[in-house]
Amino acid sequence: MLKKLYVLYLVVFLGISIAAFVIGNYGIHDQKSHIYLLPDGYTGWVEIRYEQEGSPPLIREGKEYVHLIPRTGVLNTSDSPTSGGMEFYYLDEQGKRNKIGLEMIRTQAMKTKDVLTSKGTQEQVSVNVFFVGTGQQWNDAKSRN
């Protein structure tokens, strides 16, 4: 009887272990990543406004979402926010991507914010905001606010 109980325990344990591995592995491989392409040499605030009616969806490169940030630093997209890894690049005139070191990315956060919509109304939207710049540029920007 004890032997049967031990075998049953091993089978259940093995089944749960396999299920946990499959579910965990699926979640990791299904996760999207985000590429942020900024104008060459850009410094300052970047804001991505999600679920903006009439705005284009983000560009897709396989499982990656590409955020092509304009010179204004504000990107409107019809997509909903998603979690995932983040990579930052400057995009030069020839279309070459130059990696931005993480020491240049400051205070990245998802939050809600009141913005003026294209209809002229105030609306709360989900935004991803971060600052690109050196420590000195970051301190200068904070002191202006």
pLDDT digits (tens, 9 = 90+) for 35-79: 999 999 999 999 999 999 889 999 999 989 999 999 999 999 999
Read off the pTM: 0.75
From CA 52, how far away is CA 78, in angstroms rounded?
5
The predicted model gives 114-133 an average pLDDT of 85
State the average pLDDT for the chain: 84
pLDDT at residue 114, as a whole number? 87
From CA 5, how far away is CA 19, in angstroms rounded?
21
Radius of gyration of the chain from its Cα atoms, rounded to whole angstroms: 22
